[in-house]
């Protein structure tokens, strides 16, 4: 009996179980980059498509508004605007190529001292289209002449003028008057066309109703003839 039990088929050693090892999945950085690039491409393509659709809708709306405005547009109004623009361009050319003599005369009157007498005024154009201003003056003494030069240099119109030809003159005494001494000098300034422009005054005119194209042509011709040059080639004012 004991021998049969010792020859049992059940093993005497303990049984050992087999453990399944966990599989590790490897994901590389390059794979992540490919995924990110692919998703970004899809998002960019979708955004581009939505932007294209939105731009086309806006363009269609603007074109529709443009067509509506073209239907409301009047060709006669455009001709009036074109004619007015051409007149403004011609007037601008005339004004920018001239010098305002009125501004110069007002400046001379403004800066001339009480003790200085202006004896002559010469304003001419040289061969280089440069304008030459020459003033002949007489002062009581040299100090007055120096002060007059300082006043000229500070003026906005006559600033930069030079004082030349300073001479001392002495008038002999006569039976009716005493001896008189004075200083004669000349003020010279070169003026380029367009540097001293006339003052422009804005005038609002009431609207006029034109009866026909003949009246418009007459008014345009009158406006053109009313614009005259402000400076002649030679202007000379001399006082005795």
Q: Which two tokens stand for residue 44?
A: 């960019």
SS3 231: coil
The pLDDT score that the predictor gives to residue 155 is 85
Domains of the chain: 101-198 (3.30.70)
Check residue 178 and report its DSSP letter: -
Beta-carbon contacts of residue 139 (< 8 Å; ≥ 6 apart): 113, 115, 116, 117, 145, 148, 182, 183, 185
Q: What average pLDDT does range 90-103 have in this prediction?
A: 77
Average predicted confidence (pLDDT) for the chain: 74
Q: How far is 74 from 81, CA to CA, in rounded Å?
A: 11
- Residue 173 in this model has a pLDDT that exceeds 70: no
Q: What average pLDDT does range 32-51 have in this prediction?
A: 89
In this prediction, what percent of the chain has a pLDDT beyond 90?
10
Q: What average pLDDT does range 3-19 have in this prediction?
A: 55
Burial class (CB in 10 A: 0-12, 13-18, 19+), 166: middle
Beta-carbon contacts of residue 58 (< 8 Å; ≥ 6 apart): none
- Residue 217 in this model has a pLDDT that exceeds 50: no
Provide the whole-model pTM.
Answer: 0.43
Q: What are phi and psi of 180, to 5 degrees?
A: -130, 130
pLDDT band at residue 106 under the 50/70/90 scheme: confident
């Amino acid at each position: 009996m004991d021998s049969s039990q010792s020859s049992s088929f059940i093993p005497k050693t303990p049984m050992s179980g087999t453990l399944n090892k966990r599989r590790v999945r490897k994901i590389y950085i390059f794979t992540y980059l490919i995924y990110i690039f692919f998703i970004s491409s899809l998002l960019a393509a979708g955004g581009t498509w939505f932007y294209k659709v939105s731009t086309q809708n806006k363009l269609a709306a603007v074109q529709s508004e443009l067509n509506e405005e073209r239907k409301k547009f009047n060709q006669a109004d455009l001709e009036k605007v074109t004619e007015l623009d051409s007149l403004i361009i011609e007037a601008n050319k005339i004004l920018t190529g001239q010098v305002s003599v009125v501004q110069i005369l007002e400046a001379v009157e403004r800066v001339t001292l009480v003790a200085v007498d202006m004896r002559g005024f010469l304003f001419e154009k040289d061969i280089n289209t440069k304008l030459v201003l020459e003033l002949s003056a007489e002062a009581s003494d040299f100090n007055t002449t120096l002060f007059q030069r300082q006043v000229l240099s500070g003026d906005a119109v006559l600033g930069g003028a030079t004082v030349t030809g300073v001479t001392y003159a002495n008038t002999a005494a006569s039976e009716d008057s005493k001896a008189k001494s004075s200083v004669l000098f000349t003020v010279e300034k070169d003026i380029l066309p367009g540097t001293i422009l006339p003052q422009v005054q804005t005038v609002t005119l009431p609207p006029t109703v034109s009866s026909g194209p003949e009246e418009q042509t007459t008014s345009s011709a009158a406006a053109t003839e009313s614009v005259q040059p402000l400076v002649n080639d030679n202007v000379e004012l001399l006082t005795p």
